Amino acid sequence: MKYINIKHPEQVASFAQAVTMGLGRDRGLFFPETIPPLSDLATLLRMSFVERSVEILTHFVDDAFEQKTLEKIVSRAFNFSVNVTPVETHVFALELFHGPSLAFKDFGARFLAECLSHLSSGPTTILTATSGDTGAAVAHAFFDQPEIRVVILYPEGRISQFQEKLFCTLGKNIETFAVRSDFDACQAIVKQAFEDQTIRQSIQLNSANSINIGRLLAQVCYYFEAVAQLPSHESIVVSIPSGNFGNLTAGLIARAMGLPIQKFIAATNANDTVPRYFDNNIWAPNPTKATLTNAMDIAEPNNFPRIEWLFKDSPKTLRSVIQPHAVSDVQTRESVSALYEINYIAEPHTALAYGALKNYLRDDEIGLFLGTAHPVKFNEIIEAEIDEAVPVPPGFESLMEQPLLSQVIEPDFELIKGRLLGSQNATLR
């Protein structure tokens, strides 16, 4: 399998190169040259999650790893459960939050960390921007790994306290910066660092963001697991709470491989660049708005060019397969309450996807909404809507008492550059 830089299609990379480089020339995103169709879906769906994921990923990693190594990578990365939980007739939650950082990001981050431990040579710096959950997943996946330094930027005050504690209390090889701005500003600094010649010549840099194709490929696997667990494999509609559109991209790759998903609902919050684009064909990001679903406060979704690339030969299909839908904070709160009424506690991103699904789902369809984070990560918002405390999962009871180790900084590229190259000029919190 070759990977194309979709900005400069003449740049072609192997899996190992695409994953270790993160981004192609001119900040271009890598994407598989072809999507391998799967021949025997029925057999595949009967396999265990790990066994099936190895089978799927074999097509993408090519000769980067021997079969035994890939099996080890996948079984170490995906060592927690994926649950499809019924919430009402024909409606199911795909719970992706049972990993170490309690969010779907664990799949991609852990797979990437395992791949890099086999592919990297010498000290590597992982530089990543997070709107909430990537930070924790990346920090936990690379924590205490030899020769790996992790630098994480996040928008100060725009992630939940539990999210912040999950990755800003670890220390050791994990450095965290609270940037006085929004997620887009953090992402812009990361992108600029990847373009900076001095940085590139001085350190080996990698981004563990969803711009790294390795992460997206790992996410493809749980769509197969979802379908395997559903009671019927027909007329499946999947609703995805979308920010950077990585999850949707992974779902579309799974569908292109032959997974029977009829439609995807791309549910956004008020950062509705994609729904408006579908309406009027004009790509016009507004300034980022802060919402209840902070991990999706992204006005310029990074992965959307990959989706357009996937459908470049059939743009009409893109519009028939994806139904975008923008959800207000009021509606999201209503969905948290509505789910609670039917005995399901969901955090806002998950509830937003449920609300969007209910808008479109017909009686003859099966609806699946993605549970992207554990409710405890957003307990304050949920507890304002429901009558009980959100239960803290085992192992996380003392997290909130740990001190934060982050540094607060202005959104200043030179400052981050200085830190990456070694100087200590950020203000301590």
Ligand X SMILES: Cc1ncc(COP(=O)(O)O)c(C=O)c1O
* Complex with ligand X: residue 124 or 372, whichever CB lies closer: 372
Site string for ligand X, 330-369 (x = CB under 6 A): -------------------x--------------------
Nearest-CA neighbor of 142 among 164, 163, 124? 124
Query: 303 CB contacts (<8 Å, ≥6 apart)?
Result: 29, 210, 211, 216, 244, 245, 246, 248, 249
Which of the stretches 130-138, 142-150, 170-178, 392-400 binds ligand X when contact is defined by CB under 6 A?
130-138
* Complex with ligand X: residue 119 or 159, whichever CB lies closer: 159
Nearest-CA neighbor of 361 among 323, 334, 390? 323
* Complex with ligand X: residue 291 or 372, whichever CB lies closer: 372
Q: Are 184 and 196 in contact (CB under 8 A)?
A: no
CB of 370 to ligand X, least distance (A): 8
Which residue in the set 131, 323, 379, 406 belongs to the binding site for ligand X (CB under 6 A)?
131
Which residue in the set 13, 91, 295, 345 belongs to the binding site for ligand X (CB under 6 A)?
295
User: Sign of dihedral through CA atoms 352, 267, 282, 245?
Assistant: positive
Q: Does 214 bind ligand X (CB under 6 A)?
A: no
CB of 163 to ligand X, least distance (A): 8
CB of 75 to ligand X, least distance (A): 24
Both tokens assigned to 274? 């994609």
Residue at 140: amino acid letter: H
Q: Does 120 bind ligand X (CB under 6 A)?
A: no
Alpha-carbon distance of 195 to 198, in angstroms, equals 9
At 180, phi and psi to the nearest 5?
-75, 70
Alpha-carbon distance of 310 to 304, in angstroms, equals 10
Q: Does 242 bind ligand X (CB under 6 A)?
A: yes
At 397, phi and psi to the nearest 5?
-60, -35
Q: Does 210 bind ligand X (CB under 6 A)?
A: yes
Number of residues that bind ligand X (CB under 6 A): 18
Which residue in the set 24, 155, 243, 324 belongs to the binding site for ligand X (CB under 6 A)?
243
Binding site for ligand X (CB under 6 A): 103, 131-134, 210, 241-247, 295-296, 349, 372-373
